Amino acid sequence: MSDETAIRVSNLGKCYHIYDAPSDRLKQFVLPRLKRLAGRSSRDYFRPFWALKSLSFEVKKGETVGIIGSNGSGKSTLLQILAGTLTPTSGEVNVNGRVAALLELGSGFNPEFTGRENVIMAGQILGMSRDEIFEAFHDIENFAEIGSHIDQPVKTYSTGMQVRLAFSVATVKRPEILIVDEALSVGDAFFQHKCYSRIRQFQNKGTTLFFVSHDMAALRSLCNRSIWLNNGVLRASGDTKTVVDFYMTEVYAKQQSIQTSDGTSNDSSREDISIIKPKRDCRLDFINKTNLRNDIEVFDFDEEAYRWGDGLATISAIRIDDVNGQPLSWALGGEEVLLTVEAFCKESLDAIILGFIVRDRLGQNLFGDNTFLTTQDKPVFVRAQNTVRAQFRFLMPILPAGSYAITAAVATGTQNEHIIHDWINEGLFFESHNGFTVSGLVGVPMHSISIEEVNQH
């Protein structure tokens, strides 16, 4: 296996023995041995169930791979084998790197031990020395946020508290390979945001991620490639959007008992789509040739708009650019654009954040974002008399006809605790012409976010 490969799976199979009665398990253990000693042929007292069959794939270092499939398709079995907690029946698995597995969170905890004692035990299982555990304990405790419960027996914890502690221990030290099996479906929304933020930090630093979830939005957001398992067999592999689209189409077809044009049911084993290549989305080409075309007129930045803040930095530009950074006076709904926000810093500022909100004519927030999550690991420092620029890349939504405004702000600090230096209310207007007559926007914003200092001396 090459140094660039994190995981290689070759003809992997896992078979379970299914017994119809407890006595059959005893018969299987005793009778075949006795019959072989007597020179007689024996039979099995179980039914074989292959959870995985002839599964082969390869994952490069730094890749993020999603695993999808219905319940019982073999997803958890695969991850347990990759994590080393389950032995395969056939085939070979090669794992290159330190693995942290979040399978059944809290299942490795001793309920009679306190949280503190379980942290020490779990850390040693992960290969950390006692000194490393004690050095990292403060970070584990802070991330878990369970307070004094850390010194209470785990049997008194809620499921959410076990999730917090288990995730904190497993990820306090960045693993080379991280395996997550539906772990983040438990727990409160705030903690889920913290978990996803840490996972993204690991991705940016080169961690290979295996992620199982029934949350298709999370898969699309985190994973650049996905594998679809069906009855233990590789059904499809390819870019996440295309694989998820195929999967959801088939799920819907089964739910609705949809028949194919040849009169047969939509059976997942009917065709071979094991390797899926992305197809060009031609819908916008069609839309832009019809009366559904959404033309968006962009007006000039209004420096005289109402603003407030302490004035240490001021918003100096808000504009909508094309993907090459050229300003647009007209855009199309569905077109990929860059929303550029610039701020001039009168003094040197650290941990700077730029953000925006798009509002409709009634002042309702439609969508927005800021640079904090992108930069919290490496806060941006801008020297005095320099400009900071943030660019938010997304698909311009297809909007109902009407006027819209962009509010932007520059601050320093964190998402929850910050100082506003300049908040410019509705600093840029744009008008949607001949848009859909229905309310609401069509399109999901935000492909990427970047921020950098410019005009350095």
H helices of 333-381, in order, are 372-375
Q: Which of 106, 194, 165, 92 is closest to 415 using CA atoms?
A: 194
In a domain, 133, yes or no: no
- Examine residue 302 and state whether it is found in any structural domain, yes or no: yes
Concatenate the DSSP letters of all residues of 431-447 into one string.
EEES--SSSS-BS---S
**Could you tell me if residue 450 is inside a domain?**
yes
Rounded to an integer, what distance in angstroms lies between the CA atom of residue 206 and that of residue 174? 10
Q: Hey, which residues does 308 pair with through a beta bridge?
A: 423
Domain around 443: 295-454
Q: How many domains does the chain have?
A: 1
What does the pLDDT read at residue 444? 46
Q: Are 238 and 276 in contact (CB under 8 A)?
A: yes
Q: Does some domain include residue 312?
A: yes
Q: What pLDDT shows up at residue 156?
A: 92
Considering the domain boundaries, does residue 414 fall inside one?
yes
User: Could you state, in chain order, the average pLDDT of each consecutive group of 10 residues for the chain (457 residues)?
Assistant: 84 91 84 78 84 92 90 89 89 88 68 91 84 90 89 88 85 87 64 76 88 79 87 90 81 56 43 52 55 80 88 95 88 88 95 92 82 86 94 87 89 90 91 62 56 73
* pLDDT for position 390: 94
Quote the pLDDT of residue 54.
92
Residue 32 per-residue DSSP state: H
For residue 419, what are its two tokens? Answer: 């100082």
pLDDT value for 70: 87
pLDDT for 364: 77
CB 370 within 8 A of CB 410: no
- Residues present in the chain in total: 457
Q: End-to-end distance of the chain based on CA atoms, in angstroms?
A: 48
Q: Which two tokens stand for residue 437?
A: 């007559």
Edge-to-edge strands of the sheet including 47-60?
47-60, 5-18, 90-95
Asked if the structure places residue 76 within a domain, the reply is: no
Which pLDDT does position 259 carry in this prediction? 43
The beta strands (E) that lie in 61-154 are given as 64-68, 90-95, 99-102
Domain CATH for 333: 2.70.50.60
Structure tokens at 429: 């207007």
pLDDT of residue 190: 62
